[in-house]
Amino acid sequence: MTNIERPLAISAPEPRTLDLIFSDKARAELHAKYEIVEADPENIAGLDDEILARTRYIIGQPPLSAETLARMPALRSILNVESNLLNNMPYEVLFERGIHVVTTGQVFAEPVAEIGLGFALALARGIVDADVAFRQGTELWGGRAMRARG
């Protein structure tokens, strides 16, 4: 498959990199299926008109102006890898053009809820303090523990 046949994606996932986002295998698959153009998120507008005209996807959430978007007629989706929706692009223009802005928020919802519950249980049950006391050899057992709790 030549570069012209593969959809073009601009990679600008600051502060992360594709190495942090994708495993080696997934990154190799990404590069095999898409022409990837690494770009400075702060200078998407400075890319060549031919690149912008062929861009179908953006990985990241770089600042984009309506003027820059007008130079990107093939753009179909912005893949925000941070789950935040910064006010750094004209969303109304994106939505009017049917350009999807997707985030990873749904993927993180369950693990974030689980870790929150875990932290609450650890705090309520004194798990961290008990672990520290155990490691230092100062933990209280049996009757001594009951008397200390009062």
Give the residue extent of every domain in the chain: 8-103, 107-149
CB 82 within 8 A of CB 105: no
Strand pairing partners for 77?
A: 57, 100
> Could you report the per-residue pLDDT of 57-90, keeping only the tens digit for each?
999 999 999 999 999 999 999 998 877 778 899 9
Give the class (CATH, top level) of 8-103. Answer: alpha beta
Q: Which residues of the chain have pLDDT under 70?
A: 1-4, 142-150
pLDDT of residue 76: 98
